[in-house]
Structures are given as C-alpha cells and as structure tokens.
Chain A
Amino acid sequence: MNTSLLIHIFLFPGLLFAVPASWFYVWGERKAMARMQRRIGPPLLQPLYDFVKLCGKRTPARHGIEADLLRLWPALSVLSMVGAIAMLPVFAEGRGFAGDAVVLVTLLEIPSMCFILAGFTSGSIFAEVGAIREAILNVACNAVFLLSIVTIAVMAKTFRLSEIAGVSSNPGHWIGVFGILLCIPAKLRLNPFSTSSAEQEIYSGPLTEYAGAALAMWEMAHGLEWVALTGFVATMIMPAGGAGWLRALSFVAISFALVLLLSISAAATGRLTLERSIRFYWRWAAILAVLAVSATAYMRFVS
C-alpha cells in the first residue's frame, strides 16, 4: 500500500479532515438555516456536543440478528463515506484508476441503501414508511444523478475522476454539474425533498428506533455525506492545476459555499409531497439530463 493512498484515507481529504469538516458543515447548515429565520443559531461546537452526548447514552437492549444489523447499517455508511471522500480527486495529478468514477458513485449510494435497510430492520411502522419514501425518492433522483455523471464523463471521454476534474471549460460539463446539484437535496434529505425523514410527521423516519451510539454513527454518516457530495461537486468545478495547498483550500472553500447554498435553498422551501418530488425529478430534471447526455454524446461522435 503506498503512502499517498494512506494520506488520502487518513489525513486529507480522509478521516482527519473529514470528521471535523462534517461537524463544521452540519454547523454551517444549522447556522445558515437559523440566520435565514432571523435566529442566532447553535454555537460552533454544537455538532460535537450532540455527538459526544449521544455516545454517552444507554441504548435499549436488543438481541439477535436485528441488533447486529441495526449496528451494521450506520457503520457501513460511515465506512463507505470515508472511502468515497478518500477517492475525491482533490490533487488531480495522475491518481486513481480507470473507471473510479463508477466506484465513487457506488460508494455514494451505500448510505441511502443502508438508511432504507435500517428502516425495515427496526420494524417500526414510522421507520418503514420513511424507508419506502426514501427508496422511491432514490429511484427518482438517481436517474438524473447518473445521467448527469454520464454527461460529464462523455464530455471528458473518460470515467477516471482525476481526468474528469481537469476538464471544466465546456458547457456539457457545467450542465452535468447542475444536474448533480439538483440531486443533492434529495440525497441529503434536505427540504424540499425531505419526505423520507419528515420529522414530527413520521417521528424521525427510518431512524425512529435508533438511540445512543448507533444514532451518533448515523449523524456522523450524514455529516460525511455532506462532505462527500459537496466535495464531489467542488472537485468538478475547481479550476484545473495550481499548487497542492491552493487546491486543498479551494476545495474546502467551494464545498462550504455549496453547503451554504443548499442550506439557504432548504430554508427557503417547504417540504414537497413524495408525488411532487418524483414529478420534479422525472419530468423536469430528467428531461434536462436526457437532453444533456444525448447532446454531449452527439457532440462527441461528431468531433
């Protein structure tokens, strides 16, 4: 195993960066939401306090395969997110392997899969309703998400992340990035696509039965999802080239700007029903994505 890989997994953009960053992004989201509502909002260390507090709580006694599975889902989500973050092409030169974009997309899917499975494993009726909603929403937004990535890949003529990140000057690339941005609120379960974890309406959605350390792991997985998804878009729109520290700095700055943008859009919108969310993705966003992918494919074969 080479040192560069270890650095990417454990230092930057991996664990040592990603965990504090996930707390910072979650704080940024809550603070932006509060400012939009003319409130002051939580202190900077609030996500850390929440995490430690949850770790110190007693969890209800459970036995058998159900108990193991309920612990497995959040752990799997955190691991897949750390893997996804380590794969982000922050330092573009020659890293990765052919087709690593496909692996990244797969890893990005795992937390929502686990979220759905957690809902069904816990056996609570509210959790199951939330899991069904999440599954349906996933099917709706993933069509657009995948087509957007295909658009970007076709434009760059490769599925290698470091090469895709280097090409940012053509219009197809930007349409693809826009498509991905449209899908992120659904993937992060933000307003207006927050039906799956609709708090108060179906208690806490698929996580209703979770408590203590397992819930803390879910919160961490959610924070890491923020880092991975905003980081993914950030690497796509970052200017190519430049010194290592400059790239790292712009990666963090663009990611945080995206966090603020998404939080503001979440604060400014209300929760759509599942039917309307699906209609949005399959009618409007999918048309855009199909046009984009066919136009880029045409341009690619003509040139």
Chain B
Amino acid sequence: MNLFKQFLHRCRRKSPALFHLNTGSCNGCDIEMITCLSPRYDVEQLGIHLEGSPRHADILCITGPVTRNTLEAVKTVYAQVCEPKAVVALGSCPASCNVFAGSPVIEGPLSKYIPVDVYVPGCPPHPDAIAAGIMRAAKILADREVPEKAKGEPQK
C-alpha cells in the first residue's frame, strides 16, 4: 500500500459523514443518535458529522423496522450514498424488527434489502454504543476498496 492510499484511509477513518434515515422508528433511537452530537457526548471530536444529503455521506445510519412505506426510500437512499460506504443499523428494530415482528406492514429486517456492516442493538442503544458503532463502521469503511463501476448504476 503506498503512502497516499494510507493517508486516504486515515482521512476516511477520521471524517465519517453520517446520513440518518428513519424507516418507521419510534424516534427513541433518533433521539439517542442526536444526543451523540450534543455537548455531553460531542462526537465531532472524532470527526463525525451529520450531513443533510445522502450524496455527501459515507455512513448511512438507519433506525426503525423498515415499514412498507419506507422500503423504497431505503433502497433509493442506499443507492444515493457514494462508494465507499457503510451501513450502521441503530437499535433492535432494523436487526430483528423488535416488538413489531410479524406485523403485516413491516418488511424488515433491514439486512434482507441492503448489506449492513454494524449492528448497534438496544431499545434504544446508549449514545456511547452508537458512537462506538459509528467508529467501527468508519474503520470498516477506511479499508474498503472502491468497487469497479458497475453497468447500469442508478444515476441521480
């Protein structure tokens, strides 16, 4: 591995940009995730920052059990995040559908539709656990090779 690549990997690890997607969560995990950015936990020290557009993001943070209404949005937003990317499933819902399992309007778990890199279980997970999960995803992201351009890749 040459020097530039090493530096690029270091930069990826040090600057994970998040995009947060709620797929029918009860907002518990969303609140805990926002708490990470608050003065008490302050994940900006680690270079983690929240982005407004999935195009600007590296790590997709998904909360919620994936309802029927949000399934298409999950797929679209996942395609909009540029390579290299990682997915963090926050809370028990995206991992196992939690208490919503068996409901006719729930299409989860998340891993049926997109590859998940890190699960942060909990209902809701502690902000420390979320920060640790994001940092683990950043490490996975840093060493991930950018795949060759696939044909018919979705635009816009």
Contact = CB atoms under 8 A, between A and B. Distances in A.
Answer yes or no: do A and B interact: yes
Interface of A: 30, 34, 37-43, 45-46, 48-50, 52-53, 56-62, 123-124, 126, 199-200, 202-205, 207-212, 215
Interface residues on B, range: 20 to 34
Nearest to B81: A211
Contact of A49 (B15, B50, B56, B83): B15
Interface stretch (B86-94, B115-123, B148-156): B148-156
Interface in B36-80: 39, 42, 44-45, 47, 50-53, 55-56, 58, 80
Contacts of A53: 8, 11-12, 14-15, 58
Identify the interface centre among B10, B11, B39: most chain A CB within 10 Å of its CB.
Answer: B11
Interface of B: 7-8, 10-12, 14-15, 17, 39, 42, 44-45, 47, 50-53, 55-56, 58, 80, 82-84, 146, 149, 153, 155-156
A269 B43 CA distance: 23
B56 A46 contact: no
A59 B80 CA distance: 10
B3 to A, nearest CB: 12
Contacts of B153: 60-61
For the complex of A and B, the 7 pairs showing the least CB-CB separation, nearest first, are: A199-B52, A204-B52, A204-B53, A52-B11, A49-B15, A58-B83, A39-B42
B73 to A, nearest CB: 14
A60 B11 contact: no
Identify the interface centre among A39, A48, A59, A204: most chain B CB within 10 Å of its CB.
Answer: A39
Main secondary structure of the interface of B (DSSP, over half): loop
A39 B35 CA distance: 12
A50 B83 contact: no
A60 B47 contact: no
Contact of A56 (B11, B51, B53): B11
A88 to B, nearest CB: 30
B47 A46 contact: yes
B156 A56 contact: no
Given A203-B52, A210-B56, A57 B42 contact: no
A56 B39 contact: no
A211 B15 contact: no
A39 B55 contact: no
A119 B58 CA distance: 22
Contacts of A52: 7-8, 11
A42 B44 contact: yes
